[in-house]
Structure 1
Amino acid sequence: MQELSSPSPLRLVAIPRLAAGGRWRVEAMRAYSEPCLLWFTKGQGRITVAGLTRGYTAHNAIFIPAGVMHGFEVGPQVFGTAVFFGRDCNVILPKDPHHLRIRETFVAQELNVTLDAILRELNSDSPASDRAAQAHLGLLGVWLERQIAKAAPDQPKPDAAKRLVARYTTLLEQEFRSGMGVADFAAKLDVTPTHLTRCCKQACGRPASALLHDRLIFEARRLLSETDLPVNMIADSLGFTSPAYFTRAFNHLVGKSPTAFRRGA
């Protein structure tokens, strides 16, 4: 997961800004170490959460708990807000991911008003603005709980394939640095590599190996762009058997060497 050196605070970020420095920052598989809510107000695309790919459009709210692997398309017409709740958030939040398609205008307006209030307090120097922001954040938690309850009767239960892929992405997020391959992950999940790949293709249109490589290369790009670690140390930290193998894999998936990527980051 993307870790910070100190506890992360509550913050709101415009969704286009998440892709600053490259669309790979949002499109590649990765997880945050804090809960996140994506509220799309314009545009459309696809989002993959816990190995399940769905389309999103305007007025979609997608809650992603800490540690849940995800990635989404963010084209030039996509706008909205990402709410990062912070790792020390004490608001009651869902334990599972949820994709909410908000159809009532007044419900969307409720969320917009709450987000505006949070942002206003975060930018305020008035007394108790931090407590006010947390109070509005509590209302956001209530809004989420109510919309999830309202949508529950229409939500199909995930089938066995989707449950397996969700388990795979959870394990993958925990172990992607270990050097394990798809066969190792499949063995831990008590299935064959073929069955795991078939289920991944069914849930998100990609084989199990693609999810693994995507997660590894995201982390490699992050370390190359945000740290001064030598390439050989990055390769070792991600479980590659040698720096040369890491360089070949990175070049194949990114189109340039790790050193060239770092120079352009």
Structure 2
Amino acid sequence: MRIFPVSQLGAKGKWRTEAMRTLSEPFFVWFKRGQGRITIGGSSSNYSMNNAFFIPAGTMHGFDVNLNVFGTALFMGRNCKAVLPEQPLHLRVRDGIHQTEMTFLLENIQREIFNTNVGSDRAASAYVDLLSVFMQRQATHSSVAQSSPKSSREIVEAFTKLIENEFRNGFNVSDFAQKLGMTPTHLTRSCKIACGKSALQILQDRKMFEACKLLTETQVPIGDISQSLGFVSPAYFSRAFAQITGKNPTDFRKLN
């Protein structure tokens, strides 16, 4: 279990928050101040002060963070035992008492995570349990309905799940559209409606996040990264990477 200020997540590059990715653990983020856009499961919405989001493990997402955004990000761990929502949640916590309760829970989770006393792990887990109850109660009256048409959201949700399973296989948008039983034009139109991005942008985002992660967190050779992400050659990977990030993979690794 890990907890960070939201501003710290994007301090080493926008790709760490904005690029579409999935996590192998549940994720909770509380935006105390500021505003921006967040995309979860292929559907985008605005966030503002006192907004909270729960994102289940395996759900593709990304959000923008600027200098005016303050809040807390909680990574709950792969072995989290709390009874958590099965679907993403967007909560607008308007009541001052509930805002104070949210702050109290997150501050206590943080204290126990950094505590070296006996039982601190169990205490942190207990507060996460309370946070899950808080989310369940808030969801009954402060969850935010999705604004995009249901059919578009469902298509893009299926697309992002398919990407997560297949993005390393070199498939293009046409391949994914065929697997979903539709034309590439229909898929791209649905993506634009649901999240303002094309199908190609969503696919490229996921690949580039994985590339950035491998370049910064491992010493895997660039040629091997290219092959693992389904690019036809290291040269093509380098061109695509530079086009999106503004740097070639070698320079990006040196700077990060």
- Report the TM range for the smaller structure's normalisation: over 0.9
Match of 1:101 in 2: 92
Structure 2 unaligned segments of length 5 or more: list them: none
Distance 1:37 1:198 in 2: 30
**Secondary structure of the residue that 1:95 maps to in structure 2?**
coil
Instruction: Identify the match of residue 41 of structure 2 among 32, 44, 50.
Output: 50
Match of 1:175 in 2: 166
Aligned-partner residue type, residue 37 of structure 1: F
Residue 255 of structure 1 and its aligned partner are, at CA, apart by 1.6
1:138-149 matched pairs, under 5 angstroms: 138-149=129-140
4+ aligned runs moved over 4 Å, structure 1: none
Aligned-partner residue type, residue 184 of structure 1: D
Given the two structures, how large is their TM-score scaled by the length of structure 1? 0.92
**Secondary structure of the residue that 2:220 maps to in structure 1?**
coil
The answer as to 2:59 corresponding to 1:68 is yes
Instruction: Identify the match of residue 145 of structure 2 among 142, 149, 155.
Output: 155
Residue 156 of structure 1 and its aligned partner are, at CA, apart by 5.5
1:1-265 matched pairs, under 5 angstroms: 10-151=1-142, 155=145, 159-265=150-256
Distance 1:175 1:21 in 2: 28
Instruction: Tell me if the contact between 2:241 and 2:247 (Cα under 8 Å) persists in the aligned partners.
Output: yes
Distance 1:132 1:244 in 2: 50
Distance 1:138 1:175 in 2: 34
**Secondary structure of the residue that 2:91 maps to in structure 1?**
strand
How many pairs does the alignment contain? 255
Residue 128 of structure 1 and its aligned partner are, at CA, apart by 1.9
Distance 1:253 1:216 in 2: 11
Match of 1:3 in 2: none
Change (3 A) 1:150 1:261: same
Distance 2:115 2:53 in 1: 27
Q: CA RMSD in A?
A: 1.4
Structure 1 unaligned segments of length 5 or more: list them: 1-9
Aligned-partner residue type, residue 108 of structure 1: Q
Given the two structures, how large is their TM-score scaled by the length of structure 2? 0.96
